[in-house]
Every structure is written in structure tokens, then in C-alpha cells.
Structure 1
Amino acid sequence: MTQARIRVGVVEDHPLYRSAVARLLDEAEDIELGPVADSVARFAASREAPGCVVVLDLKLRGVADAAAVLEVVGMGHRVLVVSAHAGQSEVLGAIAAGARGYLSKDADGDEILRAVREIAAGNSYVSPTLASFVLDSARDKAAGPKLVLSERERQVLSLVAAGERDQDIAEAMSISVRTVRSYLDRIRDKTGRRRRPELTRLAIEEGLAHDLGR
């Protein structure tokens, strides 16, 4: 009996790298190439049936970073991030958002295929050079105190994770932009997270973003 091929899509905005990855996948005998797109929105427009493995860049136009992972996972796909940005915050943010694997763009074709096959089999795959980030984070989370945010702060944080701007958050919560920024300052003071991608990752870690991006 012939084993079903692995359906794999690509979301990557760099034309040459997108073409190279698509060709690598298309030439593998056990892989069926799915949608190839330059943004999450264009991938979503393909209406790919759930269950695809998606090779995803992080720095995309439109929805990006952990929010991009969250949206693709919300479509029912398994995400392998392949990104030139492989710092601790990017790796942990993507994993927290539901990515099943993470490689830097230094990875060769064989490692990309190996990661795709592992993820398709229901496993996870993180490049050995990045695995220490995940292990260190797990230890820190087990040892650290639980973060305490007010209900309004949690609501603001969930809207940040959804990609909303300060003005949009103000309208959604019927408060002023100044008040939104005051909540954000408090969240930053409590957590030490300054940038929006870091706040998105925090929302995911705190379970405030599970229904976003669907």
C-alpha cells in the first residue's frame, strides 16, 4: 500500500527563498506541495484543508511574528517556522503560539525536510542550536511566580495579541487612547516586556490569545 504524501505549504515573503523552499519540497518524493504564498492572508485565501504542514517565515507583511503562527495554527495546520530571526524571544514566542518546529534560515535542505517529516508524524523539531532556549524557558516557567494582571490589563493584552492598534483597542473597550497607553505602561512595568511582539508572546503564555486569529 502506497503511503500518503505529506501536504506542505509555504508562507515566505522573500521571492528567492520562497522559490527555493518550494522547489525543495516539490522534488521530495514523499511530499505534495500545497499553497505557496507571500503572506498569511494570501495563504488563508487558498482555503487549504486543515492538516497541512506550513513552512512559515516570521517577518511577513500584514500578520507577522507570533500572531502569524497563531493564525495559521488556528486554521488547523502544523507550523514549522524557518526564519532569519532566531533569537530567544522569536523562538519562544513562536513555540508558545503553537509552532511545532523552529529552524533558522541557516538550515540546509536536508534539515528542513527532516523537520517537516517529524512534524507530519506528530512530533516536534527544533534546531539543536535553538533547543536550549526552549529548555531554559521551561525551567524558568516552572520556577517563576505567577503573573498577576487586572481584568482590564488582560483585556488590553489580548487585543494587542490580536494585532489591534492603540486606537482600535480604545474603541473596542470604550476608553481613551491615553487610558490604553496607561494600561500598556502598567503591563510593561509588571512584566518587563516592552515591544509588541513580546507582549503578544506574553498573551499567549497567559492563555489570553487562544481564540485569536481564527
Structure 2
Amino acid sequence: MVSTQAIRVGVIEDHPLYRAAVARVLEEAEDIELGAVADSVARFAVCRQPAGSVVVLDLKLRGIADAAAVMEIVGMGHKVLVVSAHAGQSEVLGAISAGARGYLSKDADGEEILRAIREIASGNSYVSPTLASFVLNSTRDRNAGPKLVLSERERQVLSLVAAGERDQDIAEAMSISVRTVRSYLDRIRDKTGRRRRPELTRLAIEEGIAHPS
């Protein structure tokens, strides 16, 4: 029988073997109640997991992915623990800026995953020691750096990038050509030095122009 104090945990992971392994670790923990287990954010949403759960989330998923996936799950009222094979600085900072409460690489063993879940369920954050320096360095850089100035149209493009939209989708939403969208993106990259889409998503979150859908 599941204790009333059990931590309800969901899993979103598209690799079948890893998904099964994480689910098994959770099922075997006495203080964990395993909730919805899905291979995408869309399928997780269909399960209607009650708000307030901790969700173990991979980043590289079909459909909604990366920081946009974190924002979507946070928007459902859950606490997110990212567990990803992609643990570079842009991925870690993008996920944390999007609202993730913790971040582990897939090198983490079952005990560390459980430890992170318990910390997050208690209202704390948990980032593996090997990744924590990214967060600390980013805080220092943000406090020291000048305020970024983007035009209104550049901010609009950036917000749509953060929402996971493709160049074609952005062009249709703004009634402009794909070429113009890419011109705006080039200007944003030149102003900010952020090249990849996860980095641009993180920038949108930092600038306060990205919101959970």
C-alpha cells in the first residue's frame, strides 16, 4: 500500500530501455508513487497527472523538446527534474531558466536520481556537482553584463523560437517571409552571440518574453 506521504513522480523519456529502467527504480523506492510514464510531452499531458508531481524529463523528445518541454511541464504545475544525455552549458542553463528544479546527466545512478527527486519534492533544487558550475558562472555573468536591447520584432521572433516554432511557423504567425525571419535571427545572434536554438530559448526566458503555453 502506498503511503500518503509518498512522492508522486512521472516520467517522460523516449528511449524505451532507459524509460523502463527509471520506472523500475521509482517503483522499488518505498517513498515514491509512480505516476504517468510517457515517451513525449503530448502523451504525458493526455494522462492528466495531478499537479504537484515531480516529473523526470528527458530533453531530446519528439514534438515539444528542450527548454520548451520544461516550460510546458512547469506550466502544468509540476516540478521538473531533467535527466538528459545532453548536459552541456546551454542545455543546463536553458532548462534551469525555463523552470527546471534539477538537472542530472544520464551518467547518474538510481540513488542520485532518487536523491534529486526527494530534494525537489521538499522544495529544494538539485544539480549534479559536475554541472553546478554552469549555474554559478551564469549568475555572475548575468549580474555583470549590460542590458540587451532588441527591437520589438526581434523580441517577437525570439518568443516564438522559445515556444518551439520552426522558421516557417514563425513566418506564418508574423505574416512575413521565411527569409525575413532568418534575417531577424541573424541579427539576434549577432547582438547576443547566442547561436543555437536552445541558447536563444534561454535568452528569451532571461529577457522575460517566453512563457509556458
TM-score if structure 2 supplies the norm length? 0.96
Counterpart residue number, 1:14: 15
Q: Deviations over 1:106-156 (max 9, x none)?
A: 111111001000000000000011111100100111101111101110001
Counterpart residue number, 1:196: 197
Counterpart residue number, 1:85: 86
Counterpart residue number, 2:59: 58
- What is the rounded CA distance, in whole Å, between the counterparts of 1:68 and 1:167 in structure 2? 20
Counterpart residue number, 1:175: 176
C-alpha displacement at 1:3, in angstroms? 4.9
- Kindly report which structure 2 residues correspond to 1:135-146, keeping only aligned pairs within 5 A, or say none: 135-146=136-147
- What is the rounded CA distance, in whole Å, between the counterparts of 2:88 and 2:180 in structure 1? 32
Matched letter for residue 140 of structure 2 = R
Counterpart residue number, 2:123: 122
Counterpart residue number, 1:32: 33
User: Unmatched 5+ residue regions in structure 1?
Assistant: none
- What is the rounded CA distance, in whole Å, between the counterparts of 1:120 and 1:14 in structure 2? 25
Question: How many correspondences in the alignment?
Answer: 211
- What is the rounded CA distance, in whole Å, between the counterparts of 1:170 and 1:12 in structure 2? 31
- What is the rounded CA distance, in whole Å, between the counterparts of 1:93 and 1:198 in structure 2? 7
Q: CA RMSD in A?
A: 1.0
Instruction: Say whether 1:100 aligns with 2:105.
Output: no
- What is the rounded CA distance, in whole Å, between the counterparts of 1:23 and 1:37 in structure 2? 14
- What is the rounded CA distance, in whole Å, between the counterparts of 1:105 and 1:160 in structure 2? 27
Tell me the SS of whatever aligns to 2:56.
strand
Instruction: Say whether 1:75 aligns with 2:97.
Output: no
- Kindly report which structure 2 residues correspond to 1:149-188, keeping only aligned pairs within 5 A, or say none: 149-188=150-189
Instruction: Say whether 1:49 aligns with 2:50.
Output: yes
Matched letter for residue 141 of structure 2 = D
- What is the rounded CA distance, in whole Å, between the counterparts of 1:67 and 1:107 in structure 2? 23
C-alpha displacement at 1:61, in angstroms? 1.1
- What is the rounded CA distance, in whole Å, between the counterparts of 1:62 and 1:168 in structure 2? 14
Tell me the SS of whatever aligns to 1:8.
strand
Matched letter for residue 84 of structure 1 = A
Matched letter for residue 87 of structure 1 = G
Tell me the SS of whatever aligns to 2:36.
strand
Q: Percent identity?
A: 86
- What is the rounded CA distance, in whole Å, between the counterparts of 1:20 and 1:157 in structure 2? 37
Matched letter for residue 65 of structure 2 = A
- What is the rounded CA distance, in whole Å, between the counterparts of 1:7 and 1:32 in structure 2? 5
C-alpha displacement at 1:202, in angstroms? 1.0
User: Unmatched 5+ residue regions in structure 2?
Assistant: none
